[in-house]
Chain A
Amino acid sequence: MFQLTHLEELEAESIYVMREVAAQFERPVLLFSGGKDSIVLVHIARKAFWPAKFPFPLLHIDTGHNFDEAIQFRDELVYNLSAKLIVGYVQESIDTGKAIEEEGFNASRNVLQTITLLDTIEEFKFDTAIGGGRRDEEKSRAKERFFSHRDEFGQWDPKNQRPELWNVFNGRKRMGEHFRVFPISNWTEMDVWQYILKESIALPSIYFTHEREVFNRDGVWLAFAPFMRLKENEKIEVKQIRCRTVGDITCTGLTLSTANTVEEIIQEIAATRITERGGRYDDKRSDAAMEDRKKEGYF
C-alpha cells in the first residue's frame, strides 16, 4: 500500500521533469533519434500532458547514414501521434561548408551532428532540448544534471555546473543560452527495457534479431552500408544480429543475438557482461570521447 514500484517512481519523476520543461521554457523541443530511449521519452511526454498533445515538436538530426527501419518507424510514429517533426540534415551542414566530412576508414558523421544540432537550435530559437541521455550510460553522463545549462556557444561546462537539489529545477538563463533536459537521467538500460515491456511500447524492428550483412572491425560488429570502406582484412558476412543501441550506422555496434521479443532481450541484458555503449565505436576514440563531444554541445 502507498508504495510505488521502481518503474512507477521513475516514470513519475520523468513526467514531473517533462511538465517542468513545459512550464519553465517557451520553445522546447524533444530530440528524437528513433532509438529506444527517445521512443520512451515520447511515451512519457504523451502521458505527462494527456489528454492534451505534448506541447513541443520532435527534432531529428539526420546524418544521412541511417538504418532505414529507424526512419520508417520515426515517420509512422509522427503520423500516428500527429506530432510535428523537424529534421536537421548533416548533409546540409556539409554542403554549406559548416561541417567537414571526415576521411579514412573510421569516417563518421557522428561528431558532425553537433554542428547541425546547434544550428537547428539557433534557427528555430529553441530554448531547451529534451534528450534521452541516462547517467548509467557513460561516465561523464554520470555527472549530468536533469536541467543542464548550455552557454551561447552550446557548450557544457562540467566542472562548473549548477547544484541541483530536491526536485527544484533552475531553468533561468540569459538570451541566447539554452538548456538540455534529461528526464530519464535516473533510468538504467534495464529500467528502459522493463518499462517498454510493461507499457507495450513499439520499437523499430532492428532491436530484434534479424539477418544482416556485417563486418567485424576491432572486435565490433558493424552493419555494412554501400558508403562504408572496408579494410583489407575485413569481409562482409551475414549474421543473426540485433541492435542494442541505435545511432548512426557507421558507429553502431551490433550484438550477435537471437532475441526476438522484449522478454528475450531483457534476459539477454541480464546475462550480459558488457555495457550498452561498449559496442559504440564513437566512444572508443578516447577515454574522454563522450565528455569532449558533450562539452562542444553533443546530445
Chain B
Amino acid sequence: MELFRFTTAGSVDDGKSTLIGRLLYDSKSIFEDQMDAVKRASLKKGSEHINLALLTDGLRAEREQGITIDVAYRYFATPKRKFIIADTPGHVQYTRNMVTGASTANAAIILIDARNGVTEQTHRHAYIASLLEIPHIIVCINKMDLVEYREEVFKRIKSEFTDFAFHVFPEKDMRFIPISALKGDNVVKPSLNMAWYDNGTLMNVLETIPALNDNDMIRGRFPVQYVIRPESDKYHDYRGYAGRVAGGIFRKGDVVKILPSGISTTIASIDNFDCPVEEAFPPMSVTIRLSDDLDISRGDMIVHDDRPPRNETDIEIMLCWMNQKPLRPGNRYFVKHTTNDVRCIVKEVNYILNINTLEKAEGVKTVAMNDIASVRLRLTRSIFFDSYRENRITGSLILIDESTNETVGAGMIL
C-alpha cells in the first residue's frame, strides 16, 4: 500500500464538502460517533439534511460562523492506497490556504458546477495547481444530476477547461469525471445514470494514478540535515550525514560532489537504522557515510555532478504573499531553503499576477496578502537550488519576518 496526497479546492457551493463527505462515507472512513456528532450539530443549526460540511470544520469559530478558516487534513484508506486530503477553504484567505495545501499534493481535484461551467474560480484553482506544479489534475464536473446527466454538458465544460488549461499547463496529466457528489454518481460507485461515461470513478482514478514519478528521480540531491556523531566506544569514528533524499537515486559507491566545497568523494555506505541499504531515493530519510573525512555540516548538499544545481545570490521567484504586512522592495527577510538559512533583501517586484484573469500588473510595488507576484531577491550568500519546475524541494523556499518570526511568503524559484 502506498501514500497518495491530494488537495481539494473550492467552496461549499461547489459541493466540495459533500464530495469529501462522500469519499469518506462510501469508503467507510466515518465512524458512528463522528456521524452522531454531525447529526446533532446539524439539528442544532436547524438544518434539514445532515450537513457533511460539519465533518470537516474543526475549530469552534468555524462551526459557529459556518466558514472554514484553515487547511484541514483528512485521512482515509482503501486496500490499494492510503490517502491524505488537504482540504482547503474557498472563501477566506483562499490563496494562502490553497498554496499550502497544494505544496505537498500529488493531485488536485478541481470542482466545477455543471450548471455554471468554467468560472473565474476555476481559473484561479487551475492556476494555483499549475504554479505549485501538482503533477495530476482531476477535474470533477459536479452536480450532473441537476443537468439531467447530459453528456453534451460534460463535453462542453471539458473542452472549455482544456482550451483554458492549454495556456496554463500544456503538459499536465488531466482527467475529467462527471459526478454527482450528493447522489454518489461516479464518486466511489459507477453511475447508472451516465452510461456514456466509462473512464472510471473518482475513487478508481485516485487509486490508480501513477505516483511513481511525482518526485524528481533524475537530479541527485541530498541536503544535509544533521550530522550524526555517536562518540561512543562502539561507534568511535562514525560520522554520518542524515537527511532526506530530495532528488535522484543514490547508491553505495557513487561518486558524489559536496557543495559548497566542491570536493568529490564516494558514498561508503547508506545507513538506515542498524542495516545499510543499497540505494536511497525520494522521499527516503537515510544517513550517508562518505569515504573521506570532510568538513560537512547542515545546509551543505551532497549531489550527483552530472546535473549540478544552480548557484546564485540573485534569484527570481514566483511569490505567494501570506501576511497582512505587505512586501515592498528594500524589505529584508529570513529565508529557509531546504536545510539552509540565509537572509535576503527584496530587489524588485516585477509584476503582480491577477490570478482570475492571468493579467500581469506591472509597476505596482506593494505585494499584499494573498497576492501572487514575480519578485527578485538578493541573498546574503549564494545557495544551491534547482528551478521549482524541476524539483519541488530544492526549488522552493519560505520567507520569514525578522521581527515577528512569522512565515510570510512562499517562493517558487524560476
B110 in the interface, Cβ–Cβ < 8 Å? no
CA distance A136 to B58 in the complex (A): 11
Contact between B285 and A6 (Cβ–Cβ < 8 Å)? no
Q: Chain A contacts of B298 at CB under 8 A?
A: 23
- Does B208 lie at the interface of the complex (its beta carbon under 8 Å from any beta carbon of A)? no
Partner of B393 from A8, A167, A291 at Cβ < 8 Å = A167
Q: Tell which of B3, B287, B322 touches A163, judged by Cβ atoms closer than 8 Å.
A: B322
List the A side residues contacting B232 at CB < 8 Å. 51-52
Among A116-124, A185-193, A204-212, A238-246, the stretch that binds chain B is A185-193
List the A residue with the shortest CB-CB distance to B229. A52
Which of A26-34, A125-133, A137-145, A260-268 faces chain B?
A: A137-145
A49 and B228 within 8 A (CB): yes
| A165 and B284 contact, CB distance less than 8 A | no
Cα distance, A110 to B60, chains bound together (Å): 21
User: Given A5-B2, A48-B285, A51-B238, does the pair A163, B396 have CB atoms closer than 8 Å?
Assistant: no
Known: A3-B212, A143-B71. A274 touches B2 (CB 8 A): no
Contact of A143 among B72, B230, B234 (CB under 8 A): B72
Closest to B406 in A: A162
Q: Which one of B74-82, B139-147, B170-178 is at the interface?
A: B74-82
Are B405 and A173 in contact, with the CB atoms below 8 A?
A: yes
- CB of B70 within 8 A of CB of A51, answer no
Whole-angstrom CA separation of A15 from B244 in the bound complex: 9
Report A252-276 CB contacts with B as 1/0, cut-off 8 Å: 0000000000000000000011110
Which of B26-34, B188-196, B303-311, B377-385 contacts the other chain? B26-34
Size of interface on B: residues with Cβ below 8 Å to A: 75
- Chain B residue contacts of A77, Cβ below 8 A: none
Is A47 among interface residues, defined by CB-CB distance under 8 A? yes
CB neighbours (8 Å) of B274 from chain A are 50-51
Report whether B405 and A19 are in contact in the complex, using a CB–CB cutoff of 8 Å. Answer: no
Closest to B388 in A: A166
How close is B300's CB to chain A, nearest CB, in angstroms?
13
Closest residue of chain B to A14, judged by CB? B285
Q: Does A10 belong to the interface (CB within 8 Å)?
A: yes
B82 x A2 contact (CB < 8 A): no
| A-side contacts of B61, CB under 8 Å | 159
Q: Contacts A2-B217, A6-B82; is A188 near B2 (CB within 8 Å)?
A: no
Within 8 A of B (CB), among A135-192: 135-136, 139-143, 158-159, 161-168, 170, 172-174, 185-186, 188, 190-191
Residue of B nearest to A275 (CB): B31
Bound form: Cα–Cα A140–B56 in Å: 10
The answer to whether A274 and B33 have CB atoms under 8 Å apart is yes
C-alpha gap A49/B285 in the complex (Å): 11
Neighbouring B residues of A292 by C-beta, 8 Å: 60
Contact status A51-B75, CB under 8 Å: no
Chain A residue numbers with a CB within 8 Å of B122 are: none
Does B161 reach chain A (CB closer than 8 Å)?
no
Q: How far, in whole Å, are A85 and B342 apart by their CA atoms in the complex?
A: 36
Docked CA distance A191–B397 (Å)? 30
The reply to whether A52 and B398 contact each other, CB–CB distance below 8 Å, is no
Instruction: Provide a sorted-by-A list of 14 A–B residue pairs whose CB atoms are within 8 angstroms.
Output: A3-B211, A3-B212, A9-B3, A20-B225, A22-B226, A46-B273, A143-B72, A163-B410, A165-B103, A168-B398, A174-B405, A287-B60, A291-B59, A292-B60
Excluding A163-B407, A170-B405, 6 further A-B contacts by CB distance (< 8 Å) are A6-B82, A22-B226, A165-B103, A167-B104, A186-B75, A188-B77
Partner-B contacts on A (CB < 8 A): 2-6, 8-13, 15-16, 19-20, 22-23, 46-53, 135-136, 139-143, 158-159, 161-168, 170, 172-174, 185-186, 188, 190-191, 272-275, 278, 287-288, 291-292
